[in-house]
Each structure stands twice: as structure tokens, then as C-alpha cells.
């Protein structure tokens, strides 16, 4: 097993492009090292991206925020501006695992691990986050929802590596929220989850809405029916009930050791309803 | 020298205080040496290959490629562990569990092992071993295993305890029955009869430290084993028997232990490590992974049971019946029987019966888990007690008080009780402020009781006084819950010296006579008793030395406050001689000063607990949160109250995890799906509120200090206390543990609709 820690994104992409056998990117390692230790994977090459300056930290840009791929989730929680603009995304990133795990793990790692239950992904999708991908053919930017192809699979091509996540500015009229269900209080994986982002127009009427559900299908489920239910409403009781119904209807979950189809389907609606209330309040709704 | 074991109401100076623990600094700084922390020159890394099948015939094992791999020093299979058990079936089961013999009996059953110069080579070697399996039908559910036509787990088993003795093999290894009176007459007298069936899923003790050992066998037959265990003597005797070693030549040292809870009262991979070392002629270190701990060591039983209680409107229970089905994994055991013995132990019943079926399935060999078998039976019984209370409109605490066992009650499992604590814990619960605290929406309160026998057994202790008057206490019971502190306190109490002057160690098996395993909450009870007597033995020597120094008769010397005092008209003016002074002069008065004791500590006092639990249930998700929890338990005498409270809290915490989320999940293929702490969900710290405790002290008449074991009883009530609280919070009666959110939400939907 070869270990490399390049200094630039281009160098990292080059190593991955040339790699023979099993190559893995190491960011926080909270998934990779566990899989390595439990002998699920047998890497030939590990490319550690933590020494790449372009992948470090949260920066404010003209368009909003740029989160370097090697930035730990704990750092997101410590960034006041990001927290104020995207509280749902930050919450999702800072409920992963435990304090110790959050000190290492990254949202990009969470995304590329491609688990249907990844916490940060529904929140990022709802918030309209984009991924900056660097590869042998240069640089491209895609919506986060385009990165995951299925459980454990991404759409990244050989030699491609995500350098950063981009988020908009947010704003006084925009609010996001993320809720997940776990049977315990921490150290757990989402059984079902919901990320919601709302933008309000005048008189508290919802102008834009995006709802993304986690762990109810092979990839994040973007519920377009929920957008239709929400837009134009002031999130009254009837709307909330309808939101729960359409979210449950959008679920395509499986029965497994973490939950049942029945449970996931019902609770997806409950979480969507509860998250919508939080997002609405954060967007200035009353 | 014989001593009186009877309780005397003596006044204590050290016992009952909250002194500093002696192992604290080592444990928080990482200096403490656990099972995996010992190394030897030239040691190899051991690894075990395990069956991926729930049940399979092993046609052949080809180890030739693994043996040829550079760096591999030994490969062992069952052929390297010949059967030396001479008809001892219990020992044979242990041997077969260490290493499959022709058949893999469960997913995770060891089939071969390697020792190599490093972990990487050992891992590669495992992949080079080819096992030719013929997959056989399997059964993992206890009720399925009892059905006619179920796959037979152990063809040699004929059910014990039925007449006439069966001739055909069965998965029911044993049927046992306890009770007295006339059930039919009792149920005929009842105004109400409540019957309910229950199921509990399999749980693991969840100790944080995986099994680990360092084994070294020399060509001269001398061997050493460093191991994390609750029973170094058990390890020595079992391993010596399985490997054909002489007991005295296998020296076993128990490491510091990172939790055992009963799971380390058995032999697992240690004979394999010794066999590898013997074959490689090098020390072998074998450390299990977490996955191996789940798949290849012993959890507790999953169960299925039917409980029936008949009562009069005034609350008198007229008849009580339990039918219990416990799975013991792939090897016969008595776990169902223990369930039957404990089921009704809290109550004074005229007509009572408990029948237990011990059942084999294709799962790992079941091991002890803290008050083994009692929590499941109590889940059924204490849940049904609440149903009876509701049926007759009586307060659940009052119903239990009315039927509580007391001194003189003939227990359902046979003996007649001496002074016991069930009544007092119930009265304490009734009067506890927790019982009157207000509850909010979706919140409910429940309570339940629990019982555990406790155990005494063979014990041997040495007490040696150093030249400066400090004291070494060597015991053979592993310190799983503060025994070193408690035993040091007892030695200090008897000698009349400060606690800080005593240093207690857990000795290796070559240094003391046999000590039974630390199980059955016996550590502080039995080693405490032996420590009292060893210290009194040392006091006898100290008095003799003082008498010799003063040249007066020894019966004119008494020991008080750490000093020898001469008394009587002609000697009363002699200045007392302190322990330090006598120790300093020991070389001139007869040599080292020591005390010793070996006993079979009989008379372990039974222990009872009553728990109160407040819970909130989210009616939309089925998620529950424990809001408040109170443990009330009889300790006999709390030697070190911090540790006693810690035991109460720890037991309750494990019971809460068991009640809410922990379970072994098997797929249709008979494979364990959640062998890790991510999906085997023990309660994490933030899941629990501060667990309040109340220690009652009803002295055990059979111990000089009144000690009862305290470590186990409080894992018994939580399952039912939580089910009862949940019933009051959400209006659903949960009869299947874990009461996980999907199950609770389903029950809510079924009870109340969407």
C-alpha cells in the first residue's frame, strides 16, 4: 500500500489518474480507516488531501461560501458566518458521529462515501450546494446531488477529486434545516432524514422550497411534489400535513438492520414537517 | 484457623467511607495494562479463521498454502487440539467451541488459526486456508428450534428432565421445573387471570475491551498465559485440561479488565493461543476484533415466554405460572433453568410454577451476562404484574408490597428466605419523591422489581505486612467493580490502620490457592470474608509478637486501633506497640508477619432491587427518552458507597440499553448482521439521565460485615420498568425487547391508528 500526501489538487488528481489497483482519497478517514481496519478494503494507493492548501478551511466569496474538501465538520461548526447563513447544513455536519469524529470528518468525505444515510448530503442538496471537481480534463462544478450514483458509488471519473463545496450567500429570507432520526442521541447513522431549504417572499409566503430526504432510497430523494406543496403557502397546518404525505409517498426505502420500510416511510413525513417549521422560522416566517 | 462468619453489628472506622480508588491514576493515564498490553520477546501475532456459515459440515481444511507463506510459524485446526476430555461433556463443549470439530455450529465459529511474525502476514495466511464446507440447514430462533422437524444443532443431545427419557435427538437440551402448591386450585380461586407472551432478543455484554491474551508454552511443558478474564483459575484449569498441561505449570495472570459482566467467565480463544504457541514454540498474542467478540464469544440468551398470574380483587396472588424458552446457542446450558429459578423469587406465593426449556440454536455459545437469565424472566413477570394491577385497579407498588416475599417465605425455587430486602426496597420506592414528581404530556412512569441469588465459593487470600508496617493484600478474585478498594478497606478496618497503608493486588494462579471466578457478585462478599479472616489471622500473629516482646502471656494482649495493648493489673502500664513497631522488629521476633485464609464462602445473601423510571415517548416516531431513573437496592453493607452506586448505575444502564435498542440481528442466511457498535446499539452516555441511587443496608447474617453482592441485581428490573413506563406514556404494552422506535411506533399505530 502506497501513501501519498500531495500539495496541490492537480497533483492529487494526477496520482489518482495514474493509479493502478484500488486507490482511495483520505480526508478525515472516519470511514476509510474503519473500512481499512475491518478489512473491507485493501488499498494499493491512499492519497491524503489534508496537505493541500486549496482544500483547507471555509472562505467567504463573492457568491457565498467555499468549503475546502479537507475542512473538518467541527470547523464548520466554529464558523459563525457559515452557521448564520446555512444553519441546516452546519447542523447536519455537526451531528455526524461524535465530537471526536467531527474533529476529523468532512462533508466532502461524507458525500463521496456515498452512503444513502449520509447526514450532510440532504442538507447540502436542499441548500443548493455545488461541488468543484478537479480531474485530468480540468475543472467542473456540479450540483451536489449529481455526485452520488448509488450506495457506495459516485459519478466521479478516474482521476477526479472534489476540491471544494460551494454554497450561496443565504439571506435574511432564506432558512434551512436538517433533522434525522436515530434511535439514540449520538454515535449513530440516520435511519431516515430530511433537509429543507425555504425562501420567503412578502407576507411570509414561501417563494422557493427544496426538500431532500435521506436513507429512503439509494440516493438522496429530492421531493419535487413537496416543493409544489410548499411554494405559495405560509406553512399552515394543512400544508404541513400535505408535506408529510408527499414526502412519505416519495420514499423508496428498504428493510434493514437499521429500520423498516414502514417506519422510514412514516417518519420521513414527520421529519419533513418538523424541519419545515424550523426552516420557515429561520427564513423569518412566523 | 476457623472464624465465625456470623454478622456482628460492629462499628466501622474505614468501611462505609468514600476513599480514593487505587487504580484510578493508572486507568486515566493509560498506564494500566489490559489484555492486549503485554508483550514478550519474539512474540507472534495470532489470528482465527471463522465460519461464515450458520451450520456447515467441514469436509476438509487445507492449510498447506498458509503454512508455506513466509513468516507463518504455525497453523492449527481441531487436529492440534486432540480430545483429552475423557467424557466430560462440559469440557468437550468448551473444546468444540474453541475450534470446530467437523462441523461449524454458528456464524463465527472458529475453524482454524494462524501465528505469524506480523499482523499483515497473519491476515494473508487466513486467506490462504481453504475450508471445504457442506452447508447444512440452520435455525436461529428459539421457538423455531423447538418445532418438530427443526434442524438439529447437536445430534448427541437427548432432552434431560423428561420422563420417559427420549431416544431421539432434540434441540431441547433440558426441561426444568420449580415451584410448589396447586396451580389449578390457585387459578380457580382468582378473580382475575392475566396471561401474556413475551419475547426478548439476544444481547451482548458489550464490554469495551475485546478478549485478548498472550500465551507462551515452552518445549518443557511450562506455560504462561496473560489474559483479560474474570477467572484466571478457571482459565488455568480449563486450558490445562484441554492442552494436557499440568495445572501447576500453567501460570495464568489476569490483566486489568476492561469490562466482563459475565462474558469473561468462560474460555474462548485462549486454548487456541496456547496451541499456536506450543506448535510455533514462540509466544503468541491473540487479540479479537470487535466483530469477533460479537460473532465468536458469548452473549446472553434470546427468549420467548408465557406468563400467567391469577389474583383476587384485594391483590392477593393466588397462582403464578411461567413457561420460559431460552436459547443457549449451540451448546447445552442451564440458562433457562436459572430463568425459572429467578422468575418468581420476589414474591410470597402459595401456588407457583416455572417451567424452563433450554434450547439449542445455531448461534454462539451463550455466556453469563450480569444476573444471567433473570432480566428476561423479570421482563415477563413484572410486566404482567402491572397488567394485573391495572385489571384490579390497584397501585402497582401496592400490589407488589402485598405479595412481597419476606423472612420465612418459601422461595419459588426452594429455599426459605432469611432477612431480605424486597419489602424494604418497595417501601422505599413508595416513599421516594420520584414517585410523586409531576409528569408532562407523552410522559409516563413505571416501576419493577428484580432478584439475584449471589454466590460465594472457593476463596483464598494472603495478607503480608512489610517492614514499614504497610500491608500487601493478595487476592485471587479479579477486580471487576472496585474490589481492590473495598478489600483494602476491610483489611485496614480489621488491622486498625488507615486505608492508604494497604495495597491490594490480584495475584497470579501460582501465588494463591484456587479462587473461583469473579461471578455471581462474589468478589467483595467472598474475598471480603477471607480478608477479614486473613487480617484476624495476622492480628493473632501480631499479638503473639507483642507478647513475646513484652514477655507476657498472649491472652493478656489485645489488638485495638492498629496497636497491641497489654491489659490486666500487672501489664496495663506497658506502652502499646504499633503495627509499624512490631513490623520493624519482625526479624527478631519470629520472621515475616502474615495472615492467610482459605474458605468456601457460604451464605451469600440474596439481593433485591426496585427501580422507578420516567420515560417520554414521541408518539409520531416511537422514540423514547429516559427522563428520570431511580435504583433502590439492598447492599447488605456498602463497603465503598461510590462503587456500590456505580454498580447500581452500571447495571441499570446496561438494562436500559437492552430494553431500548440492543439486539443481535440475524439474516435469513443465519449470519449476524450487526457485529459492531455502530449497529449493535448500546446506550451512549447522552442517552441517559443521571441514574439516581438509594442504597439500603439489610445485613446478610452470614457475613461478618453483613455484605451482600451488589453487582448484578440492578440489571434485572429495567426491561419491565421501562415497558411499564412506556405503557403509561404511550398507551401501548410492549412485549418484545428491544422496545426500539420501529416496534413502538408500530404498536402505537396498531393501538391508536394513524
Instruction: Please tell me the distance in Å from B689's CA to the nearest CA on chain A.
Output: 12
A259 and B742: CB-CB below 8 Å? yes
Overall number of domains in chain A: 2
User: From the list A39, A183, A189, which residue is nearest B623 (CB)?
Assistant: A183
Residue B244 pLDDT > 80: yes
Q: Give CA–CA dist B210/A251, Å, rounded.
A: 39
| Residues near B263 by beta carbon (within 8 Å), at least 6 away in sequence | B204, B205, B207, B297, B298, B299, B367, B368, B369
Give the nearest chain B residue to A192 (CA atoms).
Answer: B621
Q: What pLDDT does residue B754 have?
A: 62
pLDDT in tens, B489-504: 999 999 999 999 999 9
B622 and A185: CB-CB below 8 Å? no
Candidates A67, A41, A64, A42; CA nearest to A56 is: A67
Instruction: Please tell me the distance in Å from B385's CA to the nearest CA on chain A.
Output: 28
Query: Where a domain ends, among A141, A167, A193?
Result: A167
Query: Where a domain ends, among A138, A167, A196?
Result: A167
Radius of gyration of chain A (CA): 19
Residue B1 pLDDT > 60: no
Query: Where a domain ends, among A115, A133, A167?
Result: A167
B678 and A184: CB-CB below 8 Å? no
The DSSP code for B556 is: G
Which residues of chain A does B681 touch, with a Cβ-Cβ cutoff of 8 Å? 183-184, 188
On whether both A267 and A146 belong to a single domain, the answer is no
What rounded mean pLDDT belongs to chain B? 97
B746 and A38: CB-CB below 8 Å? no
- Write out residues in chain A with pLDDT < 50, as ranges: none
Identify the CATH number of the domain in which residue A201 sits: 3.30.390.50
Asked if the C-beta of A268 comes within 8 angstroms of chain B's C-beta atoms, the answer is no
On whether both A120 and A184 belong to a single domain, the answer is no
A183 and B681: CB-CB below 8 Å? yes
B623 and A270: CB-CB below 8 Å? no
Q: Give CA–CA dist B623/B628, Å, rounded.
A: 16
Strands B593-601 and B607-617: unpaired
- Write out the H or E segment, with its range, that includes residue B240: helix B232-243
Over residues B526-535, the mean pLDDT reads 97
Q: Give CA–CA dist B196/A88, Å, rounded.
A: 46
Strands A153-154 and A148-150: antiparallel
Give the nearest chain B residue to A189 (CA atoms).
Answer: B678
Q: Give CA–CA dist B682/B664, Å, rounded.
A: 11
On whether both A212 and A163 belong to a single domain, the answer is no
On whether both A144 and A220 belong to a single domain, the answer is no
**Domain B303-454+605-752 CATH (choose: 3.30.365.10, 3.40.640.10, 3.40.50.2300, 3.30.420.10):** 3.30.365.10
On whether both A189 and A120 belong to a single domain, the answer is no
Give the nearest chain A residue to B617 (CA atoms).
Answer: A183
Partner A, chain B 104-123, Cβ-Cβ below 8 Å:
123
Structural domain for A211, as ranges? 174-282
On whether both A28 and A132 belong to a single domain, the answer is yes
* Residues B378 and B722: beta-carbon distance below 8 Å: no
Give the nearest chain A residue to B127 (CA atoms).
Answer: A39
Which residues of chain B does A184 touch, with a Cβ-Cβ cutoff of 8 Å? 661, 681, 683-684, 686-687
Which residues of chain A does B679 touch, with a Cβ-Cβ cutoff of 8 Å? 189, 257-258
Asked if the C-beta of B573 comes within 8 angstroms of chain A's C-beta atoms, the answer is no
B621 and A267: CB-CB below 8 Å? yes
On whether both A91 and A131 belong to a single domain, the answer is yes
Residue B109 pLDDT > 80: yes
Candidates A27, A247, A61, A25; CA nearest to A156 is: A25
- What fold characterizes domain B456-601? Aldehyde Oxidoreductase; domain 4 (3.30.365)
The DSSP code for B523 is: I
On whether both A25 and A112 belong to a single domain, the answer is yes
Asked if the C-beta of B686 comes within 8 angstroms of chain A's C-beta atoms, the answer is yes
B745 and A258: CB-CB below 8 Å? no
Asked if the C-beta of B528 comes within 8 angstroms of chain A's C-beta atoms, the answer is no
User: From the list B676, B681, B741, which residue is nearest A263 (CB)?
Assistant: B741
Asked if the C-beta of A175 comes within 8 angstroms of chain B's C-beta atoms, the answer is no
Q: Give CA–CA dist B539/B258, Å, rounded.
A: 35
* Residues B308 and B195: beta-carbon distance below 8 Å: yes
The DSSP code for B526 is: I
Q: What pLDDT does residue B125 have?
A: 98
- Residues for chain A: how many in total? 286
Q: Which of B291, B683, B742 to mutate to test the interface with A (most CBs of A within 10 A)?
A: B742
Q: What pLDDT does residue B2 have?
A: 58
pLDDT in tens, B395-443: 999 999 999 999 999 999 999 999 999 999 999 999 999 999 999 999 9
On whether both A269 and A250 belong to a single domain, the answer is yes
Do the domains B303-454+605-752 and B456-601 sit in the same CATH topology, yes or no? yes
Q: What pLDDT does residue A286 have?
A: 86
* Residues B225 and B215: beta-carbon distance below 8 Å: yes
Which residues of chain B does A258 touch, with a Cβ-Cβ cutoff of 8 Å? 679
| Residues near B433 by beta carbon (within 8 Å), at least 6 away in sequence | none
SS (H, E, C) chain A: CEEECCCCHHHHHHHHHHCCCCEEEECCCCCHHHHHHCCCCCCCEEEECCCCHHHCCEEECCCCEEEECCCEHHHHHCCHHHHHHCHHHHHHHCCCCCHHHHCCCEHHHHHHHCCCCCCHHHHHHHCCCEEEEEECCEEEEEEHHHCEEECCEECCCCCCEEEEEEECCCCCCEEEEEEEECCCCCCCCCCEEEEEEEEECHHHCEEEEEEEEECCCCCCEECHHHHHHHCCCCCCHHHHHHHHHHHHHHCCCCCECCECHHHHHHHHHHHHHHHHHHHHHHCCCC
Q: Give CA–CA dist B738/B683, Å, rounded.
A: 12
Rounded to the nearest 5°, which phi and psi values hold at B93? -60, -40
Q: What pLDDT does residue B572 have?
A: 80
Q: What pLDDT does residue B262 have?
A: 97
On whether both A158 and A205 belong to a single domain, the answer is no
Over residues B715-734, the mean pLDDT reads 98
Asked if the C-beta of B675 comes within 8 angstroms of chain A's C-beta atoms, the answer is no
Identify the CATH number of the domain in which residue A103 sits: 3.30.465.10
Strand order in the sheet with A58-60: A58-60, A65-68, A161-167, A130-135, A138-143
B181: cell is 402448591
Candidates B202, B660, B445; CA nearest to A185 is: B660
Thinking of the domain B42-136+209-258+264-296, which architecture would CATH place it in?
Answer: Alpha-Beta Complex (3.90)
User: From the list A181, A184, A189, which residue is nearest B661 (CB)?
Assistant: A184
On whether both A244 and A178 belong to a single domain, the answer is yes
Q: What pLDDT does residue B753 have?
A: 77
Instruction: Please tell me the distance in Å from A205's CA to the nearest CA on chain B.
Output: 27
Instruction: Please tell me the distance in Å from A188's CA to the nearest CA on chain B.
Output: 6
| Domain definitions of chain B by residue range | 42-136+209-258+264-296, 303-454+605-752, 456-601
For chains A and B, CB pairs below 8 A equal 53
Asked if the C-beta of A286 comes within 8 angstroms of chain B's C-beta atoms, the answer is no
Query: pTM of the entire structure?
Result: 0.97
Which residues of chain B does A266 touch, with a Cβ-Cβ cutoff of 8 Å? 745
User: From the list B123, B665, B742, which residue is nearest A260 (CB)?
Assistant: B742
On whether both A23 and A144 belong to a single domain, the answer is yes
Partner A, chain B 285-324, Cβ-Cβ below 8 Å:
289, 291
Candidates A221, A216, A218, A240; CA nearest to A230 is: A240
A184 and B683: CB-CB below 8 Å? yes
Asked if the C-beta of B668 comes within 8 angstroms of chain A's C-beta atoms, the answer is no
pLDDT above 90 as % of chain B: 98
Amino acid at each position: 500500500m502506497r501513501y501519498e500526501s500531495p500539495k496541490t489538487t492537480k497533483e492529487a488528481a494526477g496520482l489518482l489518474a495514474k493509479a493502478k489497483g484500488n486507490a482511495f482519497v483520505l480526508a478525515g478517514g472516519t470511514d476509510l480507516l474503519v473500512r481499512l481496519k475491518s478489512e473491507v478494503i485493501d488499498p494499493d494507493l491512499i492519497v491524503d488531501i489534508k496537505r493541500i492548501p486549496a482544500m483547507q478551511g471555509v472562505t467567504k466569496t463573492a457568491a457565498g461560501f467555499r468549503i475546502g474538501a479537507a475542512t473538518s465538520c467541527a470547523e464548520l461548526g466554529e464558523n459563525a458566518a457559515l452557521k448564520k447563513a446555512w444553519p441546516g447544513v452546519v447542523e447536519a455536519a455537526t451531528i455526524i458521529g461524535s465530537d471526536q469524529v467531527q474533529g476529523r470528518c468532512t462533508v466532502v468525505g461524507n458525500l463521496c462515501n456515498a452512503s444513502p444515510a449520509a447526514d450532510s448530503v440532504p442538507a447540502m442538496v436542499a441548500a443548493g450546494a455545488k461541488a468543484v471537481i478537479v480531474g485530468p480534463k480540468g475543472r467542473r462544478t456540479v450540483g451536489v446531488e449529481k455526485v452520488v450514483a448509488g450506495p457506495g458509488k459516485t459519478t466521479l471519473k478516474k482521476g477526479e477529486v472534489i476540491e471544494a463545496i460551494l454554497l450561496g450567500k443565504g439571506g435574511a429570507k432564506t432558512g434551512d434545516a436538517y433533522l434525522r432520526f436515530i434511535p439514540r442521541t449520538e454515535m449513530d447513522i440516520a435511519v431516515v432524514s430530511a433537509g429543507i431549504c425555504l425562501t420567503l417572499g412578502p407576507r411570509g409566503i414561501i417563494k422557493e422550497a427544496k426538500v431532500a430526504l435521506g436513507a429512503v432510497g439509494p440516493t438522496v430523494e429530492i421531493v419535487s411534489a413537496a416543493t409544489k406543496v410548499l411554494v405559495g403557502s405560509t406553512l399552515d397546518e394543512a400544508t404541513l400535513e400535505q408535506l408529510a404525505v408527499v414526502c412519505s409517498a416519495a420514499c423508496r426505502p428498504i428493510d434493514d438492520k437499521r429500520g423498516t420500510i414502514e417506519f422510514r416511510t412514516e417518519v420521513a413525513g414527520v421529519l419533513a414537517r418538523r424541519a419545515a417549521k424550523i426552516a420557515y422560522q429561520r427564513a423569518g416566517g412566523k | 484457623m476457623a472464624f465465625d462468619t456470623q454478622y456482628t453489628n460492629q462499628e466501622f472506622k474505614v468501611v462505609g467511607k468514600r476513599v480514593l480508588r487505587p487504580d484510578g491514576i493508572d486507568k486515566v493515564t493509560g498506564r494500566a495494562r489490559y489484555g492486549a498490553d503485554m508483550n514478550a520477546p519474539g512474540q507472534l501475532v495470532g489470528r482465527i479463521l471463522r465460519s461464515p456459515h450458520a451450520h456447515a459440515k467441514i469436509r476438509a481444511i487445507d492449510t498447506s498454502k498458509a503454512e508455506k507463506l513466509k513468516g507463518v510459524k504455525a497453523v492449527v485446526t481441531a487436529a492440534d487440539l486432540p480430545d483429552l476430555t475423557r467424557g466430560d461433556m462440559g469440557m468437550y463443549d468448551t473444546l468444540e467451541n474453541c475450534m470446530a470439530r467437523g462441523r461449524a455450529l454458528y456464524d463465527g465459529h472458529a475453524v482454524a488459526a494462524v501465528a505469524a511474525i506480523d499482523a499483515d502476514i497473519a491476515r494473508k495466511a487466513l486467506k490462504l486456508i481453504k475450508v471445504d464446507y457442506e452447508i447444512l440447514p440452520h435455525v436461529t430462533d428459539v421457538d423455531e428450534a423447538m418445532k418438530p422437524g427443526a434442524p438439529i444443532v447437536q445430534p448427541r443431545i437427548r432432552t434431560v428432565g423428561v420422563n420417559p427419557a427420549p431416544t431421539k435427538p432434540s434441540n431441547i437440551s433440558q426441561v426444568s421445573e420449580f415451584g410448589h402448591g396447586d396451580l389449578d386450585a390457585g387459578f380457580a380461586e382468582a378473580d382475575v387471570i392475566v396471561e401474556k407472551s413475551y419475547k426478548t432478543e439476544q444481547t451482548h455484554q458489550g464490554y469495551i475491551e475485546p478478549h485478548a491474551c498472550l500465551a507462551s508454552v515452552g518445549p518443557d511443558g511450562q506455560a504462561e498465559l496473560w489474559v483479560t478474564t474474570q477467572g484466571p483459575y478457571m482459565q488455568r484449569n480449563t486450558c490445562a485440561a484441554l492442552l494436557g498441561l499440568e495445572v501447576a505449570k500453567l501460570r495464568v495472570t489476569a490483566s486489568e479488565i476492561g469490562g466482563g459482566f459475565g462474558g469473561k467467565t468462560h474460555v474462548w480463544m485462549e486454548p487456541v493461543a496456547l496451541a499456536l504457541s506450543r506448535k510455533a514454540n514462540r509466544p503468541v498474542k491473540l487479540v479479537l476484533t470487535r466483530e469477533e467478540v460479537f460473532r465468536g464469544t458469548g452473549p446472553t440468551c434470546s427468549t420467548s415466554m408465557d406468563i400467567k398470574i391469577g389474583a383476587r380483587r384485594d391483590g392477593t396472588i393466588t397462582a403464578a405460572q411461567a413457561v420460559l424458552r431460552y436459547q443457549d446457542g449451540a451448546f447445552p446450558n442451564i440458562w433457562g433453568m436459572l430463568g425459572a429459578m429467578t422468575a418468581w423469587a420476589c414474591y410470597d406465593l402459595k401456588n407457583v410454577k416455572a417451567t424452563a426449556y433450554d434450547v439449542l440454536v445455531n448461534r454462539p455459545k451463550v455466556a453469563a451476562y450480569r444476573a444471567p437469565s433473570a432480566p428476561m424472566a423479570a421482563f415477563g413477570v413484572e410486566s404482567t404484574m402491572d397488567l394485573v394491577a391495572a385489571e384490579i385497579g390497584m397501585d402497582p407498588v401496592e400490589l407488589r408490597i402485598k405479595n412481597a416475599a419476606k423472612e420465612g417465605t418459601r422461595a419459588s425455587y426452594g429455599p426459605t428466605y432469611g432477612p431480605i430486602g424486597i419489602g424494604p426496597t418497595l417501601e422505599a420506592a413508595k416513599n421516594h419523591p420520584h414517585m410523586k414528581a409531576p409528569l408532562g404530556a407523552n410522559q409516563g412512569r413505571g416501576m419493577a422489581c428484580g432478584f439475584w441469588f449471589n454466590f460465594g465459593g472457593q476463596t483464598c487470600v494472603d495478607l503480608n505486612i512489610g517492614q514499614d508496617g504497610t500491608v500487601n493484600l493478595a487476592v485471587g478474585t479479579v477486580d471487576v467493580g472496585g474490589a481492590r478498594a473495598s478489600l483494602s478497606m476491610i483489611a485496614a478496618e480489621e488491622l486498625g490502620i488507615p486505608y492508604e497503608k494497604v495495597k491490594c493486588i490480584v495475584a497470579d494462579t501460582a501465588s494463591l490457592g484456587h479462587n473461583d471466578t469473579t461471578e455471581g457478585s462474589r468478589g467483595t462478599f467472598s474475598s471480603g470474608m477471607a480478608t477479614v479472616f486473613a487480617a484476624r489471622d495476622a492480628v493473632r500473629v501480631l499479638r503473639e509478637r507483642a507478647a513475646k516482646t513484652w514477655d507476657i502471656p498472649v491472652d493478656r494482649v489485645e489488638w485495638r486501633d492498629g496497636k497491641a495493648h497489654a491489659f490486666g493489673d500487672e501489664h496495663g502500664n506497658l506502652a502499646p506497640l504499633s503495627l509499624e513497631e512490631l513490623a520493624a522488629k519482625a526479624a527478631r521476633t519470629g520472621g515475616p508477619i502474615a495472615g492467610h485464609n482459605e474458605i468456601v464462602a457460604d451464605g451469600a445473601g440474596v439481593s433485591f432491587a426496585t427501580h422507578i423510571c420516567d420515560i417520554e415517548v414521541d408518539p409520531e416516531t416511537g422514540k423514547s427518552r429516559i427522563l428520570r431513573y431511580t435504583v433502590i437496592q439492598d447492599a447488605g453493607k456498602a463497603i465503598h458507597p461510590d462503587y456500590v452506586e456505580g454498580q447500581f448505575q452500571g447495571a441499570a444502564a446496561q438494562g436500559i440499553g437492552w430494553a431500548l435498542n440492543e439486539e443481535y440481528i440475524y439474516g435469513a442466511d443465519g449470519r449476524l448482521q450487526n457485529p459492531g457498535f455502530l449497529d449493535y446499539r448500546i446506550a451512549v452516555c447522552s442517552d441517559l439521565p443521571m441514574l439516581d441511587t438509594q442504597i439500603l443496608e439489610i445485613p446478610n447474617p452470614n457475613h461478618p460485615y453483613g455484605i451482600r453482592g451488589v453487582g448484578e441485581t440492578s440489571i434485572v428490573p429495567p426491561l419491565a420498568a421501562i415497558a411499564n413506563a412506556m405503557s403509561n406514556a404511550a398507551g401501548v404494552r410492549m412485549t418484545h425487547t428491544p422496545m426500539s422506535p420501529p416496534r413502538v411506533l408500530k404498536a402505537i399505530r396498531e393501538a391508536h391508528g394513524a
